[in-house]
């Protein structure tokens, strides 16, 4: 059932920014590349450039044994460069490192796109970034990505690897970069386009949705969440004049395959059903003196808990997935039923892009996505007006259609 529970914004005494994320669900390290300008800084799993440059990557992991990271760049299954990402972030947090592509790509830029894949893995020894960055080979002098490849022992010592390689971030290099492609070859919306014709560029919408996406904390009794859930989809609109937008409205929906009903607090209420889509709205504001102000930035007015400053923290009730701004409503009777929302379960920070495809639904007259099958919900749609059933059969339960602007 859609909707956000209404309650006063009450901050928890717990310091979320430094709290240990023992329950954070991450199997392999996660890697993204920084995109956009200072105003719309965001992170993605694919990027394109027409001239080599230094790129900033951000990685995270969940293994307390990880002390540092090793990154590698491959082309056509050959390692072209590898090095240390420096000291690792604490589990559940993020850290940046740079790779200078000017050191190993060929000039001039090719007419046909060349695709590099960047990955990172965790190591159980501290390897300073400044001491171990090395070049394995140029693209025209490939070295097979095997254990016998010549490289610094400290970087390639397999006994130090404590995680598998992360997802691949795909970097496309070509003389004309109109679009970039992910590992699976799907087109990533180019930031300068406005494919839903609402006056907001794709890159601006996607950057705002990523910058202010919520951080979820579950109750320990939660048992109706699949791996990878919740899946977050969103819509972004300017409030007022799009050509000089000072307020943007973002509507997020959090998707679950099943609503498990009320749990131990009030099991007599039950109300379990197939499909669960919970809505959450937020307005963000632009700080700028004038339209072309290079120091403009976006911010939110938020009086409750937040993660990494720009991400609202939502506490989700076990089974029903109702979202709250604090745990103060745990076991509070609300018309005969009460939620388990103790905030003592998994902590999840979902992404808003899958295989290079952003979860931006677009506008009613120019939808960017409709079929939700690629997100793991076959037969479901964002714009068709049907109740969301999580990809399961219609059990005539209390699910609802999506409500967009």
CATH class given for the domain over 46-181: mainly beta
Give pLDDT < 70 ranges for the chain. Answer: 1-27, 36-40, 106-111, 129-158, 175-192, 241-243, 288-296
At residue 207, the pLDDT reads 84
What pLDDT is recorded for position 40?
A: 63
- Cβ atoms within 10 Å of 264's Cβ, excluding its own: 12
What is the per-residue pLDDT for 106? Answer: 67
Q: What does the domain layout of the chain look like in residue ranges?
A: 46-181, 202-375
- The pLDDT score that the predictor gives to residue 277 is 96
């Amino acid at each position: 059932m859609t909707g956000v529970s209404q309650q006063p914004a009450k901050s928890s005494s717990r310091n979320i920014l430094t709290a240990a994320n023992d329950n954070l669900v991450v199997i392999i390290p996660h890697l993204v590349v920084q995109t956009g300008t200072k105003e719309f800084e965001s992170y993605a799993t694919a990027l394109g450039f027409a001239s080599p440059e230094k790129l900033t990557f951000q990685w995270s992991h969940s293994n307390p044994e990880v002390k540092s990271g090793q990154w590698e760049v491959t082309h056509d299954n050959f390692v072209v460069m590898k090095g240390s990402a420096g000291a690792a972030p604490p589990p559940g947090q993020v850290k940046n490192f740079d790779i200078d592509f000017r050191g190993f790509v060929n000039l001039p830029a090719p007419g046909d796109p060349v695709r590099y894949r960047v990955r990172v893995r965790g190591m159980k020894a501290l390897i300073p970034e400044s001491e171990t960055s090395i070049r394995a080979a140029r693209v025209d002098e490939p070295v097979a990505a095997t254990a016998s490849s010549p490289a610094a022992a400290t970087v390639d010592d397999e006994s130090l690897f404590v995680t598998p390689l992360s997802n691949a971030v795909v970097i496309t290099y070509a003389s004309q970069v109109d679009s970039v492609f992910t590992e699976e070859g799907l087109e990533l919306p180019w930031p300068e386009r406005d494919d839903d014709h609402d006056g907001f560029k794709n890159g601006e919408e996607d950057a705002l949705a990523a910058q202010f996406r919520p951080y979820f904390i579950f109750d320990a009794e939660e048992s109706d969440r699949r791996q990878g859930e919740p899946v977050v989809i969103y819509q972004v609109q300017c409030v007022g004049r799009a050509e000089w937008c000072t307020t943007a409205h973002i509507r997020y929906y959090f998707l679950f395959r099943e609503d498990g009903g009320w749990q131990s607090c009030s099991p007599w209420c039950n109300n379990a059903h197939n499909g669960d889509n919970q809505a959450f709205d937020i307005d963000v504001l632009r700080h700028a003196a004038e339209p072309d102000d290079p120091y403009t930035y976006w911010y939110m007015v938020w009086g409750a808990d937040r993660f990494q400053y720009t991400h609202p923290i939502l506490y989700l009730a076990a089974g029903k997935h109702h979202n709250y701004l604090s745990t103060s409503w745990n076991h509070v009777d609300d018309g005969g039923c009460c939620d388990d929302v103790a905030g003592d379960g998994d902590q999840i920070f979902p992404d808003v892009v899958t295989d290079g495809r952003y979860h931006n639904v677009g506008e009613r007259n120019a939808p960017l996505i409709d079929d939700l099958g690629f997100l793991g919900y076959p037969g479901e749609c964002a714009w068709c007006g049907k109740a969301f059933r999580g990809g399961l059969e219609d059990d005539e339960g209390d699910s609802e259609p999506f409500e967009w602007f």
